[in-house]
Amino acid sequence: MTYLNLFLISLLLVFIIDISGVMDTIKRMVWRWVFKDRPDKTYQDFSFKPFECSLCMTWWCGLIYLCFAGLSWVNVAYVAFLAFFTPIWKSLLYLVKDFVIKLIDALYTFYDL
């Protein structure tokens, strides 16, 4: 069950960080909070690592999870594998989405709706 939970954590982090675009909103909120007294300061993109990096967040969240679920070399290696493959998870999520869209289009064509 630990491996499944770690995999799902990885997928959720990839969705939240890489796909949803929430990090852009959070960075703009941080910018406004930091420069609230300087309205002349226009927004400039900045690095907000590790929070905007799905690889980093998968690694650290996975290690935190393992501290409670059971830390072993095999589990740490699995977390490293999941973190390394976060760009692949992103591509797979888009692939599944595109496949479902094509399937729905085929059903519309087949049933002539």
CA terminus-to-terminus distance, the chain: 43
Confidence bin at 113 (pLDDT 50/70/90): low
Provide the sign of the torsion angle of the four alpha carbons 52, 54, 58, 59, taken in this order: negative
User: Domain boundaries in the chain?
Assistant: 2-87
Q: What is the pLDDT averaged over residues 23-44?
A: 85
Helix, strand, or coil (residue 71): coil
Q: What is the pLDDT of residue 17?
A: 95
Distance CA 26, CA 43 (A): 12
List the structure tokens of 9.
């954590």
pLDDT tens for each residue of 79-107: 999 999 999 999 999 999 999 999 999 99
Distance CA 42, CA 76 (A): 42
Query: What's the pTM value of the predicted model, to 2 decimals?
Result: 0.84
